[in-house]
Structure 1
Amino acid sequence: MPRLLTALATAAALALPTLATAQDMNPNVAARHAVMDVLAYNLGQIGGMAQGRMPYDAAVASAAANNIYHLSMLDIAPMFAEGTDNASAQGSRALPAIWTDMDGFNARWAALQTAAEAMKDAAGTDLASLQGAMGGLGGACGACHQTYRQPQ
């Protein structure tokens, strides 16, 4: 529970500057951005270790994986309210396909949860275990982004 509170506090802290500087941005979109930014930050830590760009540190890997897991367990439905797609809301890269295929979108989020749990169990064990769990986690992120997010 303390790790979940830490992850939520981090997400909120990252969202505040976004909300303050993007006054025209829909609060649901800003909240989504904050959650995705915290996910990306933590994924960058374990990804850097998996790719050998930074030394493996079991404590850092475990903390990052726990953060990802807890963020994946958030109820994101309120952040994906209708009218917050890229054609309707400033700053949104969410494609309308989310709302026309909500079951598929929810399945992709569930796949992230499963992959995040596997990473949580593997990350602090050793580098080989972390690397083994990276494919599932990266694949879950990529599958959703390829289908439901507008490219930059």
Structure 2
Amino acid sequence: MKYGIALVAGLMTAGILGTSAISDSHADKAVLAAVKARQSQMTLYAFNIGLLGGMAKGEIEYDATAASAAAGNLAALSKLDQSRLWPQGSDNAALGDETTEALPVIWSADSTIGQKAMEMSEAAVALEQAAGGGLDSLRGAIGPLGKSCGSCHETYRKAQN
């Protein structure tokens, strides 16, 4: 009987600890999934900006249809709900530089990340309206988008070497 009680108590303890470990593991998976999703979104931004920037610099022949599509992609991406992509503890101090370049300052009380995201979205919408209107129109609208992206990266992303 004594051994039976000890066995049951041991199994219960193992079950509780196992459940806790599974929960912790699940939380880690959720944070890593959020980081992967936001990095994927940033990759899509870069892919579309690369085409538009190449056109603006004259490295890629201007194509109104392609420019409009890329700018439309940027505007749509900027409007996605990102609230679940930035959980607390998904910064480079918590996860390491190999996982993310996001700095912990994003989550500080005085963070301006929301304002910067809104400015980027406004610049993307303006670019969407301008991109198909000719090369000069594209060139005039891509600068503000680049500036909004850069201002966020300067403040909230680990410096690039």
TM-score by length of 2: 0.77
* Other-structure match for 2:8: none
| Per-residue deviation, 1:40 | 0.3
Greater fraction of residues in helix: 2
Provide structure 2 residue ranges, at least 5 long, that are not aligned to the other structure.
1-28
Match of 1:121 among 109, 118, 129: 129
User: Equivalents in 1 of 2:65, 2:48: separation in Å?
Assistant: 13
Give runs of aligned pairs for residues 126-141 of structure 1, distance below 5 A.
126-141=134-149
Provide structure 1 residue ranges, at least 5 long, that are not aligned to the other structure.
1-22
| Per-residue deviation, 1:64 | 0.1
Matched, 1:89 2:61: no
* Other-structure match for 1:40: 46
Structure 1 runs of 4+ with >4 Å offset:
none
User: Equivalents in 1 of 2:109, 2:49: separation in Å?
Assistant: 26
Contact residue 89 and residue 95 of structure 2 kept, 8 A? yes
Give runs of aligned pairs for residues 102-121 of structure 1, distance below 5 A.
103-121=111-129
TM-score by length of 1: 0.81
User: Equivalents in 1 of 2:95, 2:151: separation in Å?
Assistant: 23
User: Equivalents in 1 of 2:118, 2:75: separation in Å?
Assistant: 11
Alignment CA distance shift 1:131-1:101 (3 Å):
farther
Residue by residue over 1:50-106, the C-alpha shift from the partner in whole angstroms, topping out at 9 and shown as x without a partner, is 000011000000000000000000111110010101111241111011000465000
User: Equivalents in 2 of 1:95, 1:64: separation in Å?
Assistant: 28
User: Equivalents in 1 of 2:37, 2:130: separation in Å?
Assistant: 29
Work out the number of aligned pairs and report it.
Answer: 130
Contact residue 105 and residue 111 of structure 2 kept, 8 A? no
* Other-structure match for 1:12: none
| Per-residue deviation, 1:151 | 1.8
Bigger CA radius of gyration: 2
User: Equivalents in 2 of 1:102, 1:32: separation in Å?
Assistant: 22
Q: Secondary structure at the match of 2:114?
A: helix
Residue by residue over 1:98-123, the C-alpha shift from the partner in whole angstroms, topping out at 9 and shown as x without a partner, is 00046500000000000000000000
Residue by residue over 1:27-55, the C-alpha shift from the partner in whole angstroms, topping out at 9 and shown as x without a partner, is 11100110000000000000000000011
| Aligned CA-pair RMSD | 1.7
Q: Secondary structure at the match of 2:92?
A: coil
Give runs of aligned pairs for residues 6-25 of structure 1, distance below 5 A.
none
Determine what percentage of the aligned residue pairs are the same residue: 43
